[in-house]
Amino acid sequence: MFTQRAPYLPTHDRTRLVPACLLSHLERHAVAVVTGDDRGETAAQRAWLSTVAGRVTRVPAGRWRHPVTGGPGGLGAFRVAARRAVAEFCPDVVHLEGAWLAPLAREVPAAVVIGVRESGVRRARDARRRARTTRAWIRAQIDERIEGEWERRWLPRANACVVASEEDRQTLAERVPLARIEVIPPGVDAQRYSFRRAAEPARMVFAGNMTWPAHLDAADRLATRVLPRVRRALPQAELLLIGAGPLAALRALAAVPGVRVAGAVADLRPSLWSAAVALVPAQAAPGIDAAILEAMAVGTPVVAARACLTGLTHVLPGHHVAVAESDAELAATALLVLREPVVAATLAENARQLVERRHTWAATARLYEALWARAADTTPTAVAA
């Protein structure tokens, strides 16, 4: 397994979390890891990786891509390490965690799976649609061209590419054969995100990454258009916004009556446990799957737009989550959940059962094991990562 940043647990950094959770469930496999050397890690974080991998190689990492051309950069040490690791370890399959590592696929004489997660083209197109200035639109247009060329040139070299949603699969299929693209949703630690029903009765929550324009737009919509509708019927209602973002924008949101801004938090669980409902509008669609699963796991009922559920194929609207699209629907459905304990409890219990059946990291790891086995043309019990 090659990773841009060293995996360890616990962490909220998705670039570390996904490979760390996969590695922690691969007890049956011999695993070697080549990862970028991050001098900011603590001794405990550096030691964690040695507990789940039989061999760990850390290499210096520079800028991953050229800032202007978008071409490969900073992979020189990784290329040397890749050749050496493959020659000495003889893996059945190589997993590259992150699309920026895709150029390494041509360096290894073994089956290659790339954890793409989301299409860069889809992300750029979304930014272009949401651009508020000509400069932002042009920047998104350039990003789409760069990302498209990267996906066209490097991703088809892999035996399989993993994305988190069907929309990402369809976008990536413009440049990669559809049969080589696998949709595997993120997992959740069902033990750490334990089921509790002890919320503040009128608190709503949105957890996202406000540095992403789409998530900031979602937070603004909830604060300025949805919350006022809820408060007209339920004056004590409040909205808790969680996630790092531009300071000026977060301050402006915090000034809205009924809005509380927590910003970046080290542990998301207390905020989710404290909320009576989690709201996820359509603007939040890119990269929101994990946050939805975490809310479902802890027992916080979710009200979401259908666009936010494309990567969660087993989630049934009306059974595991409530679905709402317009501002009026989001407000009305949130009020229903806040006012009807039976509705809230039923959604929460159904969602938790689904998480335990389909969305634990153990279940996700099994999907990867099956994919790696197919890529290596061998049985799951013989796969090495």
pLDDT of residue 379: 40
Q: pTM for this one?
A: 0.83
H-type alpha helices, 155-258: 166-172, 213-221, 227-233, 247-254
Task: Give CA 103 to chain center in angstroms.
Answer: 22
According to DSSP, the β-strands at 277-280 and 259-263 are: unpaired
41 against 371, higher pLDDT: 371
pLDDT for residue 144: 93
Domain ranges in the chain are 2-187+361-382, 203-358
Q: What mean pLDDT is predicted for residues 250-273?
A: 92
Share of the chain above pLDDT 90, in %: 61
> What number of other Cβ atoms are within 10 A of residue 58's Cβ?
18
| DSSP state letters, 260-327 | EEEES-S-SHHHHHH-SEEEE-GGG-TT-HHHHHHHHHHT--EEE-GGGGTT-TTPPBTTTBEE--SH
Average pLDDT of the segment spanning 339-354? 96
Number of other CB atoms surrounding residue 342 within 10 Å: 7
Residue type, 77: A
Q: Is residue 211 classed as helix, strand or coil in its secondary structure?
A: coil
CATH architecture of the domain with residue range 2-187+361-382: 3-Layer(aba) Sandwich (3.40)
Quick check: 202 and 233 in contact, CB under 8 A? no
**What pLDDT, on the 0 to 100 scale, is given for residue 286?**
65
Dihedrals φ, ψ of 33, to 5°? -125, 130
Q: Which of 24-28, 68-72, 192-196, 237-241 has the lowest mean pLDDT?
A: 68-72
The partner residues of 160 in beta bridges, in order of sequence, read: 113
Q: Which residues contact 325 (CB under 8 A, 6 or more apart)?
A: 282, 305, 306
* pLDDT band, very low/low/confident/very high, at 86 (cuts 50, 70, 90): confident
**Number of other CB atoms surrounding residue 334 within 10 Å:** 28
Report the chain's mean pLDDT, rounded to a whole number: 89
Q: Residue 99: what pLDDT?
A: 92
Strand order in the sheet with 32-36: 55-59, 32-36, 2-3, 93-97, 111-117, 160-163, 181-183
Q: Round to whole Å and give the CA distance between 378 and 385.
A: 13
Give per-residue pLDDT as tens, 38-70: 777 888 888 999 999 989 999 887 676 766 666
| CATH code of the domain made up of 203-358 | 3.40.50.2000
pLDDT-derived band at 95, boundaries 50, 70, 90: very high
Q: Do the first three CATH levels of 2-187+361-382 and 203-358 match, i.e. the same topology?
A: yes
Amino acid (1-letter code) at residue 177? P
**Residue 381 clears pLDDT 50, i.e. is over it:** no
Residue 45: how many other CB atoms lie within 10 Å: 17
pLDDT in tens, 142-171: 999 999 999 999 999 999 999 988 888 999
